[in-house]
Amino acid sequence: MASNLQLVNEYMTYKTFRSDGSVTERELALEVVNRFLESGEVPAEAGSLGETLVMKTNNGAPGYPNLEVKLNTEVVHVQWPQDPRERVKVTTKDGTVYTADNVIITLSVGVLKECYHSLFTPMLPDAKIKAIEHISIGVMDKIILCFDQVWWKGVSCPKGSRNTVTFWTSGEIAKIVETLPEQVVSTKLALLRKFLGLYIKNIPEPTRMIRSTWHTNPYTRGSYTYDNVQTPQHPTARSDLGSPLLDAAGNPRVLFAGEATEANNYATVHGAADSGYREAKRLLDCGNKKIVVQSNY
């Protein structure tokens, strides 16, 4: 039976094939899961390698991968060592201190901009601080309005609904819209009536509304990064952001992933995922055998 570490290694290898365009990511995950299924030791509902790795359906009994995931746990401080014999210390808001040989950080650039000065001891190197400051994070929000009756034509509704319609806001306007009371946002349809009034009379008031608040949210502080007109002046910003913090012996101790660290596929889910594989592989290539929580077999 393969260990978790072997599995991740295999996945990385398959991933390389995928980059050649020969096989898709879903196929990779399924292949790994199917191999577990053949051995009879993976839960049938496991849908991807990620799910398999965090799966605890057998209460952590032998034979199952068993990563411990802490949800709703805010990290407030990361202390990275210079001495190779010391461990990285991560402190959470409730005061708990976790130690590890390595840490991979995937905070959004919005959060890093706000917190980097208090989050790290020692302070980050200049190149990384400059990267955090130079990479721009945008705000792209959705407002979903629900109406008693459908008054529009040719506009698709969000999945699972028949009487809602989505509006998008972005940039500085989106930041303001996020702070307005719901009542104000849902009843301010003047703009809509201005644009559509000639064609559609009596646009009704919505009955309900939900909206995203990517900028107000302290755990995102924006939606995703973008390149601005000054980006060519800082061509290494994304790779500087993705560079690890090293100890005195040159070992990567704190690593950085997340969409913003990807040179090509930033601002996307696949870019974010790729960056995770990239940093996990960086540790594997360093011969670090402790990145996967110890398994029982």
Ligand X SMILES: Cc1cc2nc3c(=O)[nH]c(=O)nc-3n(C[C@H](O)[C@H](O)[C@H](O)COP(=O)(O)OP(=O)(O)OC[C@H]3O[C@@H](n4cnc5c(N)ncnc54)[C@H](O)[C@@H]3O)c2cc1C
On whether the CB atoms of residues 58 and 48 are closer than 8 A, the answer is: no
Query: How open is the CA angle 117-119-121, to the nearest 5 degrees?
Result: 85
Kind and range of the H or E element at 131? Answer: helix 126-134
**How far apart, in whole angstroms, are the C-alpha atoms of residue 187 and residue 189?**
6
What number of chain residues touch ligand X (CB under 6 A)? Answer: 20
Query: In the Cβ-directed half-sphere of 295, how many Cα atoms lie within 13 Å?
Result: 22
Q: Which is nearer to ligand X, 115 or 189 (CB)?
A: 115
On whether the CB atoms of residues 203 and 188 are closer than 8 A, the answer is: no
On whether the CB atoms of residues 128 and 138 are closer than 8 A, the answer is: no
CB of 269 to ligand X, least distance (A): 4
Under the criterion CB under 6 A, does residue 220 sit at the interface with ligand X? yes
Q: Which is nearer to ligand X, 223 or 295 (CB)?
A: 223
Per-residue contact string for residues 21-50; x = within reach of ligand X by CB under 6 A: ------------------------------
Q: Of these, 259, 274, 280, 292, which contacts ligand X (CB under 6 A)?
A: 259
Under the criterion CB under 6 A, does residue 269 sit at the interface with ligand X? yes
Under the criterion CB under 6 A, does residue 100 sit at the interface with ligand X? no
Under the criterion CB under 6 A, does residue 91 sit at the interface with ligand X? no
CB of 37 to ligand X, least distance (A): 28
**Helix (H), strand (E), coil (C) string for 15-56:** HHHHHCCCCCHHHHHHHHHHHHHHCCCCCCCCCCHHHHHHCC
- φ and ψ of 237, to 5 deg: -55, -45
Under the criterion CB under 6 A, does residue 169 sit at the interface with ligand X? no
Under the criterion CB under 6 A, does residue 214 sit at the interface with ligand X? yes
Q: Of these, 2, 127, 129, 140, which contacts ligand X (CB under 6 A)?
A: 140
Under the criterion CB under 6 A, does residue 279 sit at the interface with ligand X? no
By CB under 6 A, name the binding residues for ligand X: 74-75, 106-108, 111, 140, 142, 214, 219-220, 223-224, 258-259, 267-270, 272
